[in-house]
Structure 1
């Protein structure tokens, strides 16, 4: 079925720009902006096109008895956002337990407009000692753009700057995208305790 998603991705007119670092054994694929449910199918399509198994974190509500089999079959890991659990620790442990694993994360945490990115992905990558691969869904160009590979150092502002700079080059379906950073150039600091 993977080949079918890859074919559909190309048939509907999407293309890739840049190098997809498929040679990496592990990584967090930071995918943004995420505005529509249909982004999921673009993501599954490009994943098939580059021929790399990349899982994703999805809200547990998607993994009901009637739909969970489909989302798990497509690489999904359910996340319960209503419980006070340590997702950063759990994802980092999953990376450490697997020789090869890739997970895609939408850093907005919502399909609404955001002025800053959530930071859980950063701490997951830092704790697991895995790179962050930047991936932009550029709607006007119908292109999935692969950016730099970021190796987090623990210097939050220094590490986040190229991430924000990259996503400012990606045009989502709406104009209001990371407006605060675009205007000030200041990296929003995480809340204490993330």
Structure 2
């Protein structure tokens, strides 16, 4: 995978300190840590309801010493911001080719020779959506890595890493369990998030 802000040593150290300081001053509390045995995984990012989710996610990733990559629609990778977005861990996504996206993402996870956490919002968009997409699930199944349930609850200013979930292959049963975990959390625009569907 390409070099990112998380694998740039001096910058990483400075931004980790700045992120911890900002989150503390803003009243955010962080919970959990990534088990060393699951350094390669798919991170669910939910709820995803606002453009503010990206900067907060980056700060939380620094604070928790993660090495994240995230997917974004290809339009935000156009000149002049493409290089910056990739350095921030972004991977451009063509939403019209979702089947290839699962295979390519799984291959990247399998080929990584170090820690790599691929952040995937189950809603697939920050707009209100009735049904969760299952791409994150099939990426984990194909790559044979676990799913780590990351969350951000804006009303409580609480963010962190929840339990490690190993997919069973029964997508309906597994999705029900995952959504049950996310039911209490609320995004910045909470009316746009529904973990029931």
Question: Do the aligned partners of 2:49 and 2:193 also contact (CA within 8 Å) in 1?
Answer: no
Is 2:145 the counterpart of 1:153?
no
Larger relative CO (CA 8 A, sep 6+): 1 or 2? 2
Report how far residue 120 of structure 1 moved.
0.5
Segments of 5+ residues of structure 2 without an aligned counterpart are 1-10
> Partner residue of 1:30?
44
Q: Distance in 2 between matches of 1:85 and 1:153?
A: 20
Per-residue Cα deviation, 1:110-136 (whole angstroms, up to 9, x for no partner) = 112222210001000000001101011
> Partner residue of 2:124?
109
> Partner residue of 1:177?
193
Aligned residues: 180
Structure 1 residue runs of 4 or more that deviate by more than 6 Å after TM superposition:
none
Match of 1:166 among 172, 181, 185: 181
Q: Distance in 2 between matches of 1:67 and 1:176?
A: 27
Over the residues paired in the alignment, what is the CA RMSD in angstroms?
Answer: 1.8
Question: Do the aligned partners of 1:108 and 1:117 also contact (CA within 8 Å) in 2?
Answer: yes
> Partner residue of 1:58?
72
Segments of 5+ residues of structure 1 without an aligned counterpart are 182-187, 189-194
TM-score, with structure 2 as normaliser? 0.84
Report how far residue 12 of structure 1 moved.
2.2
Per-residue Cα deviation, 1:34-73 (whole angstroms, up to 9, x for no partner) = 1111110110010010112111111111111210111111
For the residue of structure 1 that corresponds to 2:113, the secondary structure is: coil
> Partner residue of 2:33?
20
Is 2:133 the counterpart of 1:118?
yes
Report how far residue 22 of structure 1 moved.
4.5
> Partner residue of 1:70?
84
For the residue of structure 1 that corresponds to 2:182, the secondary structure is: helix
Question: Do the aligned partners of 1:7 and 1:49 also contact (CA within 8 Å) in 2?
Answer: no
TM-score, with structure 1 as normaliser? 0.85
Report how far residue 158 of structure 1 moved.
2.4
